[in-house]
C-alpha cells in the first residue's frame, strides 16, 4: 500500500477530531475529484512502520475520535489487504476509537468484505459533480451515503441506515 498524506486533527472527514490516512490508488476517476493526484496506485510513498507509528501517536491522544481512511480509494485492490490489517490492529489497540472509510464503491458491492467488521461508518458512492452540495455533512455529492456499517450488518431489512448530523454516538460499535 502507498499513501499521500496523514492529516491530523481533521474535522471534515468524519465525526469529531480525526486522523486521516490518504491512500494511493483509485479506479473511479470521478470528474472534478478533489484528489486526482491519489488515483495512481504507484503514486505517493510506501506505507511503512513510521507511517503506522504516526497514526498510532495520533490515536493515543484522548481527544482524537478515530481514524478515517480516504484517498484515492482504500478499497482499491492495491490497498484492501493492508487497509484491513491496519484496521484490525487499530480496533484491537483502540477499541473506543471509530473507524470511517470513504469509497467510490457502493455499499451493496462491498458489504461482504471481511474488513466491514472493523468499520463504524462507510461513505459510499462516486463523487458526482452535478450533485455536488457544499452544505452536505461528510460527503461531497447528494448521491453518496453515510452508512452506519455495524447497524447495517445486523439488519435483515434491506433498508440501509444512513446517518444524519447528530446520529452517531461514540462507542456504539
Sheet with 98-102, edge to edge strand ranges: 45-46, 2-10, 18-23, 66-71, 98-102, 121-124, 145-148
Element at 90 (helix H, strand E):
helix 80-93
pLDDT, residue 45, reads 97
Q: Which CATH architecture has domain 2-154?
A: Alpha-Beta Barrel (3.20)
C-beta neighbour count of 82 within 10 angstroms: 16
Domain map (residue ranges) of the chain? 2-154
Q: What pTM was estimated for this model as a whole?
A: 0.88
Q: Beta strand pairing status for 145-148 and 121-124?
A: antiparallel
pLDDT in tens, the chain (173 residues): 999 999 999 999 999 999 999 999 998 877 877 887 888 989 999 999 999 999 999 999 999 999 999 999 999 999 999 999 999 999 999 999 999 999 999 999 999 999 999 999 999 999 999 999 989 989 989 999 999 999 988 875 555 656 655 554 433 33
pLDDT of residue 158: 54
The alpha carbons of the chain give a radius of gyration, in whole angstroms, of 15
pLDDT of 34 reads: 80
pLDDT the model gives residue 163: 63
Q: Give residue 171's pLDDT.
A: 39
pLDDT tens, 105-123? 999 999 999 999 999 999 9
Look at residue 31 in the predicted model and tell me its pLDDT: 81
pLDDT of residue 48: 98
Amino acid at each position: 500500500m502507498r499513501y499521500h498524506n496523514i492529516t491530523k486533527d481533521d474535522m471534515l472527514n468524519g465525526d469529531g477530531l480525526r486522523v486521516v490516512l490518504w491512500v494511493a490508488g483509485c479506479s473511479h476517476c470521478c470528474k472534478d475529484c478533489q484528489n486526482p493526484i491519489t488515483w495512481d496506485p504507484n503514486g505517493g510513498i510506501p506505507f511503512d512502520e513510521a507511517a503506522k507509528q504516526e497514526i498510532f501517536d495520533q490515536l493515543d491522544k484522548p481527544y482524537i475520535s478515530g481514524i478515517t481512511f480516504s484517498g484515492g480509494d482504500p478499497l482499491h485492490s492495491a490497498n484492501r489487504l493492508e487497509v484491513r490489517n491496519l484496521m484490525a490492529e487499530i480496533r484491537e489497540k483502540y477499541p473506543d476509537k471509530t473507524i470511517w472509510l470513504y469509497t467510490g464503491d457502493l455499499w451493496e458491492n462491498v458489504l461482504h468484505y471481511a474488513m466491514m467488521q472493523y468499520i463504524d461508518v462507510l461513505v459510499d458512492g462516486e463523487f458526482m459533480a452535478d450533485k455536488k452540495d457544499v452544505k452536505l455533512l461528510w460527503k461531497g455529492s447528494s448521491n453518496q451515503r453515510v452508512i452506519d456499517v455495524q447497524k447495517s450488518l445486523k439488519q435483515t431489512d434491506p433498508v440501509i441506515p444512513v446517518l444524519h448530523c447528530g446520529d452517531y454516538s461514540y462507542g456504539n460499535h
